[in-house]
Chain A
């Protein structure tokens, strides 16, 4: 039997491959960022430019905008790998599929969610969110976006065998990420009112810990179902 590379080597190779692929198509990384900025810009037009109103809705608007921007990018998580057949190779690989998929999810989070978190202070400034609240917003985003990536990956894997998946993905994912939105927006709102905001952040962190363990396993199971034609 041939020597297999170790699990750590395989994971590192997976991560490096996905990041390289994303870097070769840098334009795609900019798309969710531009989308989020434009959507944020539309809110003052739609609601009027009053500072107090924008301040009050800023946290929620940024969270929902980031969520929608991530939703747009989710579809691409496995699509190119399905087209060129490398996903089947991944399923056949001797290393645990859940770990390799976990690396893919991590790469996807780095390429789509991280740029969104980087521009979040800019979005916050556009909506006049007080500067003191921005660290809480970033913390909430840092915990909520991986949660969305992990949950989304399970659902993307489920739709891997279908043709029309864009709207379907939204229909499936959005009800499931209600808790993430509630806790993240709750933390920001509490910080804005000067209340303790640690409890919702702790709940987010707990959900993330649960999802980090369970979601890659669920993602692997879902992918096996979807590719088992």
Chain B
């Protein structure tokens, strides 16, 4: 029967196994991220034609849009991992949820910064209270709240569980916030700012964007693996498998 998948997942959730698994995959993910990122940047900055209306300024979307997608994707990962951590009390899920939060906050911050850099020449302002911008800002604050709560506890596992709970509350609230912000914006502002409208993108511009999306996903995996490995060593400090690793490092 095909019950090797749950068995394999179950074994993977043990810290030493995941430590080795992540250690094997991490260099590959990082290489792939750098490679894809370089290709996407070349495609986006050199090969793709300039926009007929925005000129070269539009090229910032090759960073901006993948970062925005990653911000939401990582929040979802954090929520799912937090749910697993609370329901099945798996230590690895706690670590994954908590180590995802700073990466997600960084991507959300990059989204906001690149967006405002683009907004200055295009809209003539660094910041406008557009619905999308506001939800992105709320998302950043949710990430920061999770990180803050995690660090407020002295016991790290307890902090991780509390912060995971906050992340789940956020998951329920994010659609409500997004919807209400949309509603608020259309009430006050007659014309909404459409970033792309319904126009389909030309393939010359689309493929670097999709490649960059893959690159950010790979970067997230590599960064997460590295952070989780470090955190697992710290968390499991006194255990045998950590001592073995420390001794083999010392022997080299």
Contact A176/B173 with A183-B180, A221-B165, A226-B162 known, Cβ cut-off 8 Å: yes
Q: Which of B86, B145, B165, B179 contacts A175 (CB 8 A)?
A: B145
The answer to whether A229 and B158 touch across the interface, beta carbons within 8 angstroms, is: yes
Digit string of A191-229 for contact with B (CB within 8 Å is 1, else 0)?
Answer: 000000000000100010000000000100110011011
A218 to B165, CA, bound (A): 9
Is B145 within 8 A of A186, CB to CB? no
Residues in B whose Cβ lies below 8 Å from that of A154: 169
Partner of A222, one of B138, B141, B165, B181: B165
Q: A171-B141, A171-B148, A178-B138 are in contact. Are A158 and B180 (CB under 8 A)?
A: no
Quick check: is B47 within 8 A (CB to CB) of the other chain? no
Contact-residue bracket for chain A? 20 to 34
The number of chain B residues with a CB under 8 A from chain A is 27
B7 proximal to A (CB < 8 A): no
Return chain A residues, CB-CB under 8 Å to B173. Answer: 176, 179
B60, CB-defined interface residue at 8 Å: no
Residue of B nearest to A158 (CB): B162
Stretch at the interface among A28-36, A43-51, A83-91, A161-169: A161-169
A7 in the interface, Cβ–Cβ < 8 Å? Answer: no
Q: Contacts A158-B165, A161-B162, A178-B138; is A172 near B145 (CB within 8 Å)? A: yes
Q: Which of B50-58, B149-157, B196-204 contacts A (4 or more CB under 8 A)?
A: B149-157
CA–CA, A32 to B128, complex, Å? 33
A171 to B162, CA, bound (A): 15
Kindly state whether residue B142 has any CB partner on chain A within 8 Å. Answer: yes
Give bound CA distance, A174 to B141, whole Å. 9
Q: Interface residues, chain B, CB within 8 Å of chain A?
A: 86, 138, 141-142, 144-145, 148-149, 152-153, 155, 158, 161-162, 165-166, 169-170, 173, 176-177, 179-181, 183-184, 187
Q: Which of B145, B155, B173 has the most CB of A within 10 A?
A: B145
Q: Is A159 an interface residue (CB 8 A)?
A: yes
Closest to A170 in B: B145
Residues of A contacting B86 in the complex (Cβ-Cβ under 8 angstroms): 225
With A161-B153, A226-B162 given, is the CB distance from A176 to B148 under 8 Å? no
- Tally of contacts, chain A with chain B, CB under 8 A: 80
A174-B141, A175-B145 are known; give 16 further A-B pairs, CB within 8 A: A155-B169, A158-B162, A158-B165, A158-B166, A159-B152, A165-B152, A172-B148, A172-B149, A175-B141, A176-B142, A178-B181, A179-B173, A182-B183, A190-B187, A225-B86, A226-B162
Contact assessment for A161 and B165 in the assembled complex, using a CB-CB cutoff below 8 Å:
no
Known contacts A175-B142, A186-B187: does B153 contact A155 (CB below 8 Å)? no
Known: A183-B180, A222-B165, A228-B158. A168 touches B187 (CB 8 A): no
Q: B145 near A225 (CB under 8 angstroms)?
A: no
A175 touches B177 (CB 8 A): yes
Cα separation A179 to B175 with both chains bound (whole Å):
10
Assess A168 versus B148: contact at CB under 8 Å? Given A154-B169, A175-B177, A183-B180: yes
How far apart sit A176 and B138, CA to CA, in the bound complex (Å)?
8
Tell me whether B153 and A162 are in contact (CB under 8 A). Answer: yes
Specify which chain B residues have a CB less than 8 angstroms from the CB of A182 in the assembled complex.
180-181, 183-184
Chain B nearest Cβ from A163, distance in angstroms = 8
For A155, what are the chain B residues with a Cβ–Cβ distance below 8 Å? 166, 169
For residue B170, which residues in chain A have a CB less than 8 angstroms away from its CB?
A: 176
Q: How far does the Cβ of A97 sit from chain B's closest Cβ, in whole Å?
A: 15
From A168, A176, A189, residue with most partner B Cβ within 10 Å:
A176
Q: How far is the CA of A174 from the CA of B142 in the complex (A)?
A: 9
- Which chain A residue has the least Cβ–Cβ distance from B173? A176
Contact status of A175 and B166, CB under 8 A, knowing A158-B149, A159-B149, A164-B152: no
Residue of B nearest to A221 (CB): B165
Within the assembled complex, what's the spacing in Å between the Cα atoms of A176 and B174?
Answer: 8
